[in-house]
């Protein structure tokens, strides 16, 4: 059985959230790089290994994010640099394993489950009047939002900082896997999204 990066067992990793179980792929793979084979298939990304999906999110584009009163530009820094992103995740996993003595893939799955919002809001217009309404979030979108916030936290924490992106990613996964609302950006974003959804009911 292939081990991720030649080190980490994927068979023993469990997904306790039933709604995410069909979307968190833990298919055995040595190197998380599918070369975009899923791109032309509807819902094809559900078959992409969860670690590769995190790597893809690290290469994300997007607009600037505001944190601590300053805008951090998160787009363009890693686009197309998949080998670099793989190395960052590999280094982050080594840091996680050294610190926690646990399988880092299990910690990533726990972090995703904790950071995935169950409720969101959308804007609806009727008769020229627009207002917000609360909506349930599909399992696939929950997973996408959690991975996006985990990777975004690593990018923001390492921007203009002495902390490397691997260290920032390891710290974010570890705090999100514990559900630490004070230390984890992804958990804060989940709570903020769900709070705004509650107020829009």
Q: Please give the residue range of the domain that contains residue 192.
A: 44-199
Mean pLDDT of the region 52-74: 66
Three-state SS for 111-147 is HHHHHCCCEEEEEEEECCEEEEEEEECCHHHHHHHHH
pLDDT at 66 over 60: no
Position 126 in a domain = yes
Position 25 in a domain = no
* CATH number of the CATH domain containing 138: 1.10.455.10
Position 2 in a domain = no
Position 24 in a domain = no
Q: What is the pLDDT of residue 79?
A: 75
pLDDT at 19 over 50: yes
Q: How far apart are CA 33 and CA 157, in angstroms?
A: 25
The tens digit of pLDDT for each residue in 90-116 reads: 999 999 999 999 999 999 999 999 999
pLDDT at 77 over 80: no
pTM of the predicted protein model: 0.85
Q: What is the pLDDT of residue 95?
A: 94
**168 phi, psi to nearest 5 deg:** -65, -40
């Amino acid at each position: 059985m292939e081990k991720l990066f030649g080190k980490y067992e994927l068979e023993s990793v469990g997904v306790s959230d039933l709604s995410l179980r069909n979307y968190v792929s833990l298919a055995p793979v040595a190197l998380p790089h599918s070369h975009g084979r899923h791109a032309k298939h509807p819902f094809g990304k559900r078959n992409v290994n969860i670690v590769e999906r995190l790597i893809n999110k690290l290469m994300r584009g997007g607009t600037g994010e505001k944190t601590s009163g300053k805008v951090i530009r998160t787009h363009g820094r890693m686009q197309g640099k998949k080998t670099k992103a793989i190395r960052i995740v590999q280094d982050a996993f080594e840091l996680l394993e050294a610190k926690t003595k646990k399988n880092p893939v299990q910690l990533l799955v726990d972090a995703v489950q904790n950071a995935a919002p169950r409720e969101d809001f959308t804007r609806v217009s009727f008769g020229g009047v627009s207002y917000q309404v609360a909506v349930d979030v599909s399992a696939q979108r929950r997973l996408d939002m959690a991975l996006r916030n985990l990777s975004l936290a690593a990018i923001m924490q390492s921007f203009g900082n002495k902390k490397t992106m691997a260290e920032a990613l390891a710290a974010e996964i570890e705090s999100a896997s514990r559900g630490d609302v004070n230390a984890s950006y992804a958990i804060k974003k989940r709570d903020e999204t769900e709070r705004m959804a509650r107020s829009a009911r």
